[in-house]
Structure 1
Amino acid sequence: MTNFILLILLQTEPPSNDSFDVVILAFLSVAVIILAGMTGRVNMGFQVPGFPRPLSAKRKQILNKHFPFYKQLTPDRRKRFEQKVQYFIHVKEFIPRQIPIVTEEMKVLISACAVQLTFGYPKVFLSHFKRILVYPDNYYSTINKTYHKGEVNPRFRTIVLSWKAFVEGYFNPIDGRNLGLHEMAHALRLENLITNAEFNFLDEEVLQHWQYLADQEMASIKEGNSRMFREYAGTDPDEFFSVAIENFFERPEKFKSLMPNLYAILVLLLKQDPLNPI
């Protein structure tokens, strides 16, 4: 973690003021974030009143068979992951579209995807989004008259996914393309802005550093000079964040090697490191 701080301070400029005092304050704020993250790793568990039921054996079997992120965790962290998955399934309404039902496998894996992204935040469950709509394949949007693989609609408090595209995202775990993580990243950004019990959980100073570096990389993408991200990441800051999340989890070695500062900021934002999951 110390290396991350040095990289941020030595290789980037503060977003607004480069005075010595600002640098010192930035250093202290990042140090506080790291300490908080370390504390969170020690005490990742949470208690849900009236909800002690553990994840069923069937659901654990689904995770063991299909979810690599879960399988690499230590036994203690697996239990915490299972508890978050169980609660996510409990509080969301899974709605089938053009399919008879949302199967148990669908519920578990979609929930696990959300938990993968929010694992560093024990009490964050994307609570604004009450409904998960599942289509069998790409679906037609009557709003913008085009086909979609997924979307996040804060107005209707809904996350929409194509099951085929979701599965394809995990079928190739190293191509930097994962629909589930992409859409959950959109939901995460929105959740942080919506006034509720989960409001403003992402540290504002770290977000400022993120946006400063993201703007630089988006400019490189538009010029065709990005060594890491596909062209779609240059669409806008929200899409850049979602594409970065896909690469953060699927290609962490390459990401850290090519963009150590940007990678370090994501470690701080998400309070987890795919290269050090313990």
Structure 2
Amino acid sequence: MTQAFFALLLQADPPPANFVDVVVLALLSIAVIVLSALSGRVNMGFRVPGFPNPLPSKRKEILRKRFPFYNGLSDNKKRRFEQKVQYFIHVKEFIPRQIPSVTEEMKVLISACAVQLTFGYPKIFLSHFKRILIYPDNYYSTINKAYHKGEVNPRLRAIVLAWKAFVEGYISESDGKNLGLHEMAHALRLENLILNAEYNFLDEEVLERWQVLADSEMKSIANGNSRMFRDYAGTNPDEFFSVAVENFFERPEKFKSLMPNLYGILVLLLKQDPLNPL
């Protein structure tokens, strides 16, 4: 059939030049798609480009024992979650500070925290932030001359966490305080602004709607009339977003009940709903 098809083409009148150009471009496009697929660079759903490695059973066991968000997912979404965790571990440098080494548990749970926040975005891995620095407890920052539990430093491309505070954030699952989610939310906002492959992934229109509602709630906080957020959320828009993210995952029922519009916008912004994880 293929030979007959090309024979007919040879017998036909010569096609116009622009037709030939179109055919050449189409063939080149097909070749690029085929080569990309063969090299693993076509990203389908949550599949990670060029990275088919499954999450080892030891790491899966850590998720099953220590990460409630993972356990609430369907089997299919668990597999997607596992792949994102494995890739996050693969591309980040985990650096011990004042501890002998970074354990598997630290790598898995910190990566799972980042994936929890970015789960609605298959291609987002907070790529600007190459380093995860882990302290055992509160640490002294020579930059701000104060003790911290965590911070995000875009200049050093680092996310810094105190392990004790990180773990406490997941032990207390419904107090609206989670250091890991708080700092990852800061990193998410910054990643959206940095000119790289992940730039501007948050919907601008949804962000504008978010900020209008956030500004209103920040005024309520300043007047002492917040319905659920702690005072720290009124510090600035970035801290408000991070505190809102903490409550979004830890107290979604209360959040939605008291602030349905703000909650709904955050669902759109993060492309997921903790009240409907399946």
* Fold-level similarity (TM above 0.5): yes
SS of match in other structure, 2:262 = helix
Question: 1:184-238: per-residue Cα shift (whole Å, max 9, x none)?
Answer: 0000000000000000000000000000000000000000000110000000000
Match of 2:38 in 1: none
1:204 & 1:72 partners in 2: Cα distance?
Answer: 30
- Judge conservation of contact 2:48–2:84 (CA < 8 Å) in 1: no
Match of 1:249 in 2: 249
* Residue 166 of structure 1, CA deviation: 0.1
Letter in 1 for 2:209: H
2:266 & 2:146 partners in 1: Cα distance?
Answer: 32
1:274 & 1:52 partners in 2: Cα distance?
Answer: 27
Match of 2:88 in 1: 88
SS of match in other structure, 2:155 = coil
1:207 & 1:214 partners in 2: Cα distance?
Answer: 10
Match of 1:271 in 2: 271
Match of 2:31 in 1: none
- Judge conservation of contact 1:192–1:200 (CA < 8 Å) in 2: yes
Match of 2:79 in 1: 79
Question: 1:111-139: per-residue Cα shift (whole Å, max 9, x none)?
Answer: 00000000000000000000000000000
Q: TM-score, normalised by structure 2?
A: 0.84
Q: Mind listing any 5+ residue stretches in structure 2 that lack a counterpart? A: 1-43
Match of 1:158 in 2: 158
| 2:182 maps to 1:186 | no
SS of match in other structure, 1:277 = coil
Match of 1:226 in 2: 226
Question: 1:224-256: per-residue Cα shift (whole Å, max 9, x none)?
Answer: 000110000000000000000000000000000
Q: Mind listing any 5+ residue stretches in structure 1 that lack a counterpart? A: 1-42
Letter in 1 for 2:185: A
1:233 & 1:219 partners in 2: Cα distance?
Answer: 11
- Judge conservation of contact 2:94–2:134 (CA < 8 Å) in 1: yes
- Judge conservation of contact 1:130–1:158 (CA < 8 Å) in 2: yes
- Judge conservation of contact 2:46–2:84 (CA < 8 Å) in 1: no
- Which is greater in Rg? 2
Match of 2:37 in 1: none
Percent of pairs with identical residues: 80
Match of 1:17 in 2: none
Match of 1:46 in 2: 47
1:277 & 1:143 partners in 2: Cα distance?
Answer: 39
- Judge conservation of contact 2:149–2:165 (CA < 8 Å) in 1: yes
SS of match in other structure, 1:274 = coil
| 2:235 maps to 1:235 | yes
Letter in 2 for 1:135: Y
2:183 & 2:149 partners in 1: Cα distance?
Answer: 10
Match of 1:136 in 2: 136
1:250 & 1:218 partners in 2: Cα distance?
Answer: 20
2:136 & 2:144 partners in 1: Cα distance?
Answer: 20
**Stretches of 4+ moved more than 4 A in 1?**
none
2:236 & 2:87 partners in 1: Cα distance?
Answer: 32
2:141 & 2:196 partners in 1: Cα distance?
Answer: 29
Match of 1:27 in 2: none
SS of match in other structure, 1:249 = helix
Match of 1:260 in 2: 260
Letter in 2 for 1:240: F
- Judge conservation of contact 1:44–1:120 (CA < 8 Å) in 2: no
1:189 & 1:142 partners in 2: Cα distance?
Answer: 24
1:148 & 1:45 partners in 2: Cα distance?
Answer: 34
* Residue 44 of structure 1, CA deviation: 3.5
Letter in 1 for 2:266: L
Q: Tell me which of the two structures has the higher relative contact order, counting C-alpha pairs closer than 8 angstroms and 6 or more residues apart.
A: 1
- Judge conservation of contact 2:48–2:87 (CA < 8 Å) in 1: no
Q: TM-score, normalised by structure 1?
A: 0.84
Letter in 1 for 2:120: G
* Residue 144 of structure 1, CA deviation: 1.1
